[in-house]
Structure 1
């Protein structure tokens, strides 16, 4: 007869000595380690964030009841883990992985550590597959790959969250799992994102990890790590592609600064602690494209950083720029001019480059960025001159057409195949002779006509991702018919 042996779980007990806001000083935990879970009376929970020879420093992450000096605490010798599983899809959870939408309790299928280690170089492969963002400027000129870390940076109210939510909407019916992580934002901002999720049926493939400004400092600190751990479950266990949006890491850095000052750590530049770089680098380095032996999944990160008056040389912006694979810079002046999305092509870059782009997009958009930058310079020069030559006027009109081609409405992502058709129409001169205010209507009409008359071309384009001679002939024929009816 086999003996059933219960595994002995080692536990330590200690006593609360002092409490400063969300930081508790505890005596008696002689075998503690960073990231370890601590249980307080009345259901409160904390995680060890530092220790010395006298006491352990514990960050309160869930307050079931008031914590006061003299309370006895217990701690098991294990790191802080959260439940993960398919049940999380379609749900809003807090920074402890618990339901925050009033729905049933989420049990999870496995447990993953919050502070997981990043995959090694041997576990990764180079990025080869394009990540469709649905934003024309990004897909045409700042292409992203699955497994990339692309920073979205700019002043407040310039459309940073819109770029991220459009990328989430674009992943519909692609099998990509989307995680939106809200850190330190107002409830009203979170509600706007939830409305977008509701209106566009995102809950079938997305979830939200929420730690708003009204939540505890501990939850705001843990939220991005929890979101990444949930994403890692889908990447490692199911070999899926995952998108994680961190909105935004500026407020995460503020939370960590507040924590560090309470922990009496020496302040450095802008009162941030010395390990502020590691705070975010350990997070974004968990994004990758896994090798086929590990399932071939990927995790793409879109961290958002808020700047003050366009200053990208600030401490947190310059830190995050140096640890990501490029940045999308949102310009408040462009936003004020009505150019939306207000992406500054002079300061935006993708270090993955065009190697992941569709061959068709690469062929058609090769010189587009240079053309647009030259147009903006020419436009500045002609503002101070009374008259211009015919050649300059023609170049200005072509530049205005490019400008209108790149504009798009929020929450209206454009699929890659439609972008190819629009780019080809521009290259074939279909937009010439139209006033700038009419171009948006012309573009919409072109897409409708091609989808209606040449659906086989669109389907073939999605399949082969490049423009063949036969496709070009079919599109040229359609454009000729469009010009005839437009006249």
Structure 2
């Protein structure tokens, strides 16, 4: 039924016997039944999917579906105070959320309300949460590399700005750590980072917040919290809210990096919602539109053409699997809609190889197009050399004698690569430093060093070169390549270092 509400408003400029009258027109419906966080209502004939309604208690709801005689509403908040017979108000508004630069450095929920106790956030504009992804003609090919600070990624599985790279693996294999390290490495690089927590316990979010605060990463980071203790509706909305904030900065010409941690729990949440909406369950009880739910999100990443701002948005969706099975429904869905995946291996993690990324199952389909020429040249045979080393190591485990000189040289080179790519968490390495490591490796300078000496080399070499040639890093970053002058500088610095420092 339609309701017209009339209000008498006082205005000091009017005479005593005059009044000013304002009208607000809205639809009023009634709650028919409550199914946990799904409300079945009647009497809202003009509602549409994706519209916002308000309950008498002030709680918001999102229209998820309707028939001729009833409306299905997802509660975005506490549903405990909603009873059958309560009124519902529809003003015909879609779900638009506030966006502005003031969100940087803040922790917010799925409705962009602050959760950090630092006061309200001023909104400049309102963006639709469920926005259509930019078309092909609105994008340009990727052209810049996203520096993750992890040697394995930057050298062997490079990521480009505007790419969607899936992080997939069992629980507790270091997926979130690699994503957070990538956030830490964006310091001073003019990249806005958004960390979106979906369905995880509050203790997990606190660990990430502590790391971000410790490394002063909140200067360029927004945290969207959809932890397990908030309502199901808010958890469902969290990744779309993070994406909406990212689009605001992308259209202003900024580079944005978004981590979704993790989409497996988001799929579980949508499965709960769909079952309560009485939608037909399919494979593993997921609804038929589960692919669309994630593809409409993932497709919003990209690199925009200059006429539309020229910004980029890079996604790191995280997916948790069971016992290394990448053939599950959700994992295969998201693999098919991303530009590559990083596979985290439990056996590698248990052996102490961290980050535990399996080269054989990991790929980046477009990242090498944006890789620095210097890095591309130095790392072109790295993956093959390492895989051959692992194969040779397995073959020679039972043999102690009779190895050819070539096999011994391969084993030494493989062990040097192994020591280089093992990396401590929360300690990202700059691309300039990675180039120094790989240059020393290709020259064979690390092949005869012990593991402790390679670790010493990693800790000391950058400062040693900076003292001898302070402009080295700036020149490498500006040219993105190693010219003859820089190579001669590296050769002399490495020669001096190994004669003086390595005993």
Tell me the TM-score normalized by structure 1: 0.97
Matched residue SS, 1:43: coil
1: CA distance between counterparts of 2:64 and 2:255?
31
Matched residue SS, 1:165: helix
Paired residue for 1:288?
Answer: 302
1: CA distance between counterparts of 2:217 and 2:367?
29
What's the Cα RMSD here?
1.5
Paired residue for 2:341?
Answer: 327
Aligned pair 1:138/2:153, yes or no? yes
Q: CA deviation at 1:353?
A: 3.9
Q: 207, 225, 228: which one pairs with 2:222? A: 207
Aligned pair 1:74/2:89, yes or no? yes
8 Å CA contact 1:45–1:63 kept in 2: the answer is no
> Comparing 311-320 with 72-81, which one deviates more in the overlay?
72-81
8 Å CA contact 1:175–1:241 kept in 2: the answer is yes
Paired residue for 1:311?
Answer: 325
Q: CA deviation at 1:394?
A: 2.2
2: CA distance between counterparts of 1:410 and 1:180?
17
> Comparing 437-446 with 351-360, which one deviates more in the overlay?
437-446
Paired residue for 2:386?
Answer: 372
Matched residue SS, 1:49: strand
1: CA distance between counterparts of 2:123 and 2:208?
25
1: CA distance between counterparts of 2:205 and 2:216?
16
Paired residue for 2:474?
Answer: 459
Q: CA deviation at 1:436?
A: 2.2
2: CA distance between counterparts of 1:107 and 1:440?
48
Paired residue for 1:252?
Answer: 266
Q: CA deviation at 1:203?
A: 1.1
Paired residue for 1:187?
Answer: 202
1: CA distance between counterparts of 2:182 and 2:367?
18
2: CA distance between counterparts of 1:284 and 1:355?
21
Q: CA deviation at 1:10?
A: 4.7
8 Å CA contact 1:10–1:77 kept in 2: the answer is no
Q: CA deviation at 1:438?
A: 2.8
Q: CA deviation at 1:442?
A: 1.7
Paired residue for 2:7?
Answer: none
> Comparing 185-194 with 99-108, which one deviates more in the overlay?
99-108
Can you list the C-alpha shifts for 1:263-292, whole angstroms capped at 9, x where unaligned? 011100000000000010000000010000
Q: CA deviation at 1:8?
A: 7.6
Any gaps of 5 or more consecutive residues in structure 1?
A: none
1:149-188 matched pairs, under 5 angstroms: 149-188=164-203
Q: 21, 28, 36: which one pairs with 2:51? A: 36
Q: CA deviation at 1:81?
A: 1.0
Q: How many residues align?
A: 482
1: CA distance between counterparts of 2:79 and 2:232?
15
Aligned pair 1:98/2:144, yes or no? no
8 Å CA contact 2:36–2:79 kept in 1: the answer is no
1: CA distance between counterparts of 2:60 and 2:79?
8
1:47-446 matched pairs, under 5 angstroms: 47-63=62-78, 66-236=81-251, 238-391=252-405, 392-446=407-461
Tell me the TM-score normalized by structure 2: 0.94
Change over 3 Å in CA distance of 1:7–1:472 after alignment to 2 = farther
Q: CA deviation at 1:467?
A: 0.2
1: CA distance between counterparts of 2:120 and 2:68?
39
Runs of 4+ displaced beyond 4 Å? 5-10
